[in-house]
Amino acid sequence: MFRLQPPLPDDYTTAPNDELVRRVATARARLGKRLVILGHHYQREEVIQFADRRGDSFGLSRFAADQHDAEFVVFCGVHFMAESADILTGPHQQVILPDLNAGCSMADMADLDDVEQIWVELAEVTDIEAIVPITYVNSAAALKAFVGRNSGAVCTSSNARAVLTWALELDAASGTGGPARAPGSWAGSRSLGGRGNKVLFFPDQHLGRNTGFQLGYGASDMQVVDPRRRLGGLADAEVKEATFLLWKGHCSVHQRFRTGHVEAFRSEHPDGVVIVHPECSHEVVEIADQVGSTDYIIGAVSRAPAGSTIAVGTEIHLVDRLAREHPDRTVLSLDPLVCPCSTMFRIDLPHLAWVLDGLVAGEVRNRITVDEATAVDARVALERMLAIA
Q: Where along the sequence are the contacts to ligand 13P (CB under 6 A)?
A: 56-58, 138, 156-157, 251, 279, 293-294
Angle value at C-alpha 32, between 65 and 365, nearest 5 degrees: 70
CA 33 to CA 138: how far, in whole Å?
Answer: 29
The one of ligand SF4, ligand 13P, none whose footprint includes residue 293, by CB under 5 to 8 A per kind, is: ligand 13P
| Closest CB 123 distance from ligand 13P, rounded Å | 31
CA 333 to CA 254: how far, in whole Å?
Answer: 12
The one of ligand 13P, ligand SF4, none whose footprint includes residue 67, by CB under 5 to 8 A per kind, is: none
| Closest CB 106 distance from ligand SF4, rounded Å | 4
Q: What residues make contact with ligand SF4 under the rule CB under 6 A?
A: 78, 104-106, 138, 251, 253, 315, 341, 343-344
The one of ligand SF4, ligand 13P, none whose footprint includes residue 57, by CB under 5 to 8 A per kind, is: ligand 13P
| Closest CB 252 distance from ligand 13P, rounded Å | 10
| Closest CB 185 distance from ligand SF4, rounded Å | 34
Q: What does residue 304 show for φ and ψ, rounded to 5 degrees?
A: -65, 145
Nearer of residues 58 and 146 to ligand 13P, judged by Cβ: 58
Q: Mapping DSSP to helix (H, G, I), strand (E, B) and coil, where does residue 158 land?
A: coil
Nearer of residues 136 and 354 to ligand 13P, judged by Cβ: 136
| Closest CB 381 distance from ligand 13P, rounded Å | 16
Nearer of residues 138 and 374 to ligand 13P, judged by Cβ: 138
| Closest CB 24 distance from ligand SF4, rounded Å | 23
The one of ligand 13P, ligand SF4, none whose footprint includes residue 160, by CB under 5 to 8 A per kind, is: none
Strands 330-333 and 244-247: unpaired
- Nearest CA among 38, 25, 22 for reference residue 368: 38
CA 355 to CA 363: how far, in whole Å?
Answer: 8
CA 166 to CA 173: how far, in whole Å?
Answer: 12
The one of ligand 13P, ligand SF4, none whose footprint includes residue 165, by CB under 5 to 8 A per kind, is: none
Tell me the CA distances in angstroms from 220 to 97, 242, 282, 349, one per residue in order. 41, 7, 14, 48
CA 43 to CA 53: how far, in whole Å?
Answer: 12
Nearer of residues 143 and 341 to ligand SF4, judged by Cβ: 341
**Is the N-terminal amide bond of 340 cis, ω within 30° of 0?**
no
